[in-house]
Amino acid sequence: MPVLNMEREFSAKSLANSDDEMSESTEHNASSESTQLGSEAFSPYREKISPEQTRNIIIFGETGAGKSALINLIVGGPVADTSPDAQGCTLDTAAYPFTLAPHHFELFDTVGLNEPQLGKTGYLDAIEKAYRLVSTLTKQGGIHLLVFCIRGGRITTTTEQNYRLFNEFLCHRDVPVALVITGLELEDRMEDWWVRNEEALRGFGMKSVAHACVTATLGVERTHVRKYENSRNKLLELLREHGTGQAFAQERIGWIARLMKDLRGLLRITKPQAKKPSHKDMVKILRRRCRLPDNDAAMLMQKLREIDLEAGS
Ligand SMILES: Nc1nc2c(ncn2[C@@H]2O[C@H](COP(=O)(O)OP(=O)(O)O)[C@@H](O)[C@H]2O)c(=O)[nH]1
Ligand SMILES: [Mg+2]
């Protein structure tokens, strides 16, 4: 059974122990505009940062887990839309720049799976989003850290599949994962959640290099202000400590092809006679929606065939 990395856990524990500290002032600089992937228009702030300097942090988890609230907490202002029932397309992504001197980060707010499986339309939409995400990430230097956001509560099959989607399918288990547990404002000590649930998370195979038990809400009349500020401190420390290492990236078309194939494993076909989409269908979607150039389309078809051959299918 996979185990948590205990060596790295030490630093996670030290984050946890900052529960009683009051907020320090931290230099930061946030743009209130996100960068929608696939659009050529970057905010002026982004253009000033060279891709080598920017650390790309992917925040993922189920809808409602608190990903957007977490980004607002880190950035220190309401840049990302939070909503109790926002929906979207799996792998749809918006990026938010954030500076924690001397480091520049790009925080990617993602849409995860809302059910353990994808329908055919959801699958084709997810492929389009995967293409945009991977194209952006290869242009911007790869992924430095995955932040898995879970709402303190039950771990479901959807939670597990979201972990697989980003950790295994997108990052081939090569990127450190930090767990952030939200919704803990009613705990006397937020870290108690970890003590009670660490064993269960281990049982689900969720490995992490660090964790932070937090609240991403200030509460009515700022009831939770102290825990909120402590949560921000923990997250900034987590980014500093674990978000500034080596990036993971792959050759773009090969990366997309592999992700398309892996996503297929999550595809649910409800009508027994219906077929799964062919390579041609998938490439057609990318040509139509993302203007995939001819040579990339040919290379993608080739890669998809190679992966099939490798798998012996
Ligand atoms: N009580 C509480 N509510 C939270 C917390 N984090 C997020 N929320 C709320 O949960 C809802 C979903 O949050 P959101 O950030 O949009 O989730 P996302 O779908 O993962 O981006 C919103 O109404 C948030 O205000 C938290 O730590 N505690
Ligand atoms: Mg959101």
Which phi and psi angles does 110 have, rounded to 5°? -115, 165
pLDDT at 2: 33
29 lines ligand 1 (CB under 6 A): no
pLDDT attached to residue 276: 86
The residue among 288, 269, 296, 258 whose CA lies nearest residue 122 is 269
Could you tell me the two tokens for 2? 């996979």
What pLDDT does 270 receive? 84
Task: Grade residue 258 by pLDDT with cuts at 50, 70 and 90.
Answer: very high
User: What pLDDT score was predicted for residue 213?
Assistant: 98
Q: Note whether 56 and 73 are within 8 A (CB).
A: no
Within 10 A of 232 (CB to CB), how many other CB atoms are there?
Answer: 22
The DSSP code sequence of 122-160 is HHHHHHHHHHHHHHHHHHTT-B-EEEEEEESS---HHHH
* Domain ranges, ordered by start, for the chain: 6-242, 252-311
Evaluate: CB of 114 within 6 angstroms of ligand 1: no
Least confident of 83-87, 228-232, 307-311: 83-87
pLDDT band, residue 275 (cuts 50/70/90): confident
pLDDT of 110 over the 90 cut: yes
Residues in the chain: 313
Ligand whose nearest atom lies closest to the CA of 217? 1
The Cα–Cα gap between 80 and 21 comes to 27
263 has a pLDDT exceeding 60: yes
CA distance 214 to 148: 13
Determine contact, residues 262/312, Cβ cutoff 8 Å: no
Q: How far apart, in whole angstroms, are the C-alpha atoms of residue 21 and residue 16?
A: 10
What is the spatial distance between Cα 79 and Cα 71, in angstroms, rounded to a whole number? Answer: 8
C-alpha 99: how far from chain center: 19
- 6-242, CATH topology level: Rossmann fold (3.40.50)
**Joined tokens for residue 144:** 């430095």
3-state SS assignment for residue 77: coil
For residue range 180-191, list pLDDT tens digits in order: 999 999 999 999
pLDDT band at 14 (very low <50, low <70, confident <90, very high): very low
User: 62 and 56 in contact (C-beta within 8 Å)?
Assistant: no
Q: Which of the pair, 273 or 293, is modelled with greater confidence?
A: 293
- Position 58 scores a pLDDT of 98
Handedness of CA 164, 166, 167, 171 (dihedral sign): positive
Confirm or reject: Cβ of 162 under 6 Å from ligand 1. Answer: no
Q: Among the bound ligands, name the one nearest to the CA of residue 212.
A: 1
- Report the pLDDT averaged over residues 243-258: 95
The two tokens of residue 254 are 């090969």
Given pLDDT bands bounded at 50, 70 and 90, which one contains residue 84? confident
- Among 79, 182, 218, 220, which is best to mutate for testing ligand 1, by the most ligand atoms less than 8 A from CB? 182
Per-residue pLDDT reduced to its tens digit, 17-69: 344 333 333 333 444 445 555 433 333 333 444 545 799 999 999 999 999 99
Q: To 10 degrees, what angle do helices 252-264 and 120-139 make?
A: 160
Q: Is 133 in the pocket of ligand 1 (CB under 6 A)?
A: no
Average pLDDT over the chain reads: 84
Ligand that lies nearest to the alpha carbon of residue 82, given by its number in the listed order = 1
The 8-class DSSP code of residue 10 comes to H
pLDDT above 70 covers a percentage of the chain that reads: 83
Query: 155 falls in which pLDDT band (50, 70, 90)?
Result: confident
